[in-house]
Structure 1
Amino acid sequence: MLRFLILLFPIILFAHKINLFLDLQDNNLYINSYFANAKPCINCQFKIEDNQNNIIFDGTLDRQGEYNFKTYLKELKVTIDAGSGHIVSKEIKNDNTLNNSLLSDNDVNLEINILKEENIALKHKIIVLEEQLNYFEIFKVIFGLVLIFLIFLFVKRIKY
């Protein structure tokens, strides 16, 4: 039994690990935070700081563990606090100084710009989901090995 607990100990360690994804494009900071089990960090407190560690904004994440923040700053630090000592912090720097707006300001181009913003938000969500999927591949392998170990242990006990 002790061996079984020793095998499960590394999985338990990552049970409450907080993952943080940041993207800073077009004066928009996209924040997404989730736990190791892919559940979003619902209503977690966060703060946004500039490069001099001055707090610019603090608030809570939504039900998807996300928040969008409009900013003109290019260097930011985001800290997520999920409580009970579960804190993660990450810095982001945007060196993109090119202006991607090639469209004029008429009604058709305005609609295209809105669709572009929605497309960017969807791309961010796809990136987050791909990271979560890659993370769970490790747990599938560990679960399979533990299951094989338990089957062999069960068969060994039946033989005697």
Structure 2
Amino acid sequence: MPAAAEAVTERPAPSRPRDTWLRVAAVALVAVAVLAAVLLARGNDPEPAAGPPAADIGDGPVDRTVSITIANRTATPPTSRVEIARGSTIRITVTSDAADELHVHGHDRRATLTPGVPASVAFRADTAGLFEVETHLSDLVLVQLVVR
């Protein structure tokens, strides 16, 4: 009787640790390069790209006034959206019980907040978009300014 034919199965060659390491390193390098490109393209400030700085209107008349009081890290009125037409003027006045800095993103406006003393920023909103008005030290979002 003839001997039963032995089944021949081919097994893939075992992967070499060096090949695996090189693949992982290549993927990681590509990921780091993409992340670096995104961060460099975005810049240091997470604000949307804006045109020229908003025109400062000082103490002149404005189309819209927003007044906010901060006490015990709570803003009154609560955070909301304020809509204005592009090209309108706005004055935002904040009175805080703690030292801080007021910042209007996208319009590059800032004011130092001294406890108990109202501080204002007034400007022409020439850039359309959604912009947060916040305090920097306490990280409070006071208003979302919508310019259409």
Scaled by the length of structure 1, the TM-score of the pair is 0.31
Which has a greater percent of strand?
2
Which has a greater percent of helix?
1
Q: Which of the two has higher C-alpha Rg? A: 2
Larger relative contact order (C-alpha < 8 A, sep ≥ 6)? 2
